[in-house]
Amino acid sequence: MKADWDKLATKWNSPTNSVLIVDADCTGTAQGICGKEGVKGYPTIKYYLAGSKKGIDYQGGRDFAALDAHVSSKLNVASCDPLTGKNCLEIEKKFIDANKDKSPTELKELLTAKENEFKEAKEAHKTAEKEWKKVDGDFKKKEKLFQMASKILKALSGGGKKSKKDL
């Protein structure tokens, strides 16, 4: 399914679409959100409708054709047209209003600033994710060592059972 999911993301993840296809590793860094969303088995597919914070369980086919048909019919809504304001969210309308009277040069400078801002945020996210993976890896090692030590110490101390020495 991973190949079809990636193909779906390639098709739909663009600035002109109102759809975003993402992965969440529920055994790793996304455990918190997966728990909050009630994910119990893998792979679980959830989708979100505009204005909703709660995911809806997807029950359709797991191949590209079925996934693509679902996105096309349920999730593909028209994106904001900045020239007419059609299909724009309130936040988009405010941004349009704040920038519509700027010159082409000013708009280009603003775009460059936004791109740089996003690039910095992306780098910060990448750094934080790398740090988290190290912390998580260190924790997992300590957890395994604890479990091993705990099991051995319980067995050596009798763990509630009488040892040969006590008989």
Q: DSSP 3-state assignment of 45? A: coil
pLDDT mean over 45-65: 87
What's the CA gap between 97 and 84, in Å, rounded? 12
Residue 163 has pLDDT above 80, yes or no: no
What's the CA gap between 64 and 82, in Å, rounded? 32
- Kindly tell me the burial class for residue 9, based on how many C-beta atoms sit within 10 Å of its own C-beta (0-12, 13-18, 19 or more): middle
What's the CA gap between 153 and 157, in Å, rounded? 6
Return the pLDDT at 79.
74
Pick the CATH number of 1-100 from 3.40.50.920, 3.40.30.10, 2.40.50.140, 3.20.20.70: 3.40.30.10
The share of the chain scoring above pLDDT 90, in percent, equals: 49
Residues in contact with 81: Cβ distance below 8 Å, sequence separation at least 6, in sequence order: 87, 88
Q: DSSP 3-state assignment of 125? A: helix
**What's the mean per-residue pLDDT of the chain?**
87
Closest Cα partner for 29 from 140, 121, 136?
136
Residue 97 has pLDDT above 90, yes or no: yes
Q: What is the pLDDT of residues 20-30, one digit of tens each?
A: 888 888 888 88
Q: Is-contact 75 47, C-beta < 8 A?
A: yes
pLDDT mean over 51-72: 88
Q: Is-contact 92 79, C-beta < 8 A?
A: no
* Residue 26 CB neighbours (<10 A): 19
Residue 53 has pLDDT above 60, yes or no: yes
pLDDT mean over 51-67: 88
pLDDT band at residue 121 using 50, 70 and 90 as cut-offs: very high
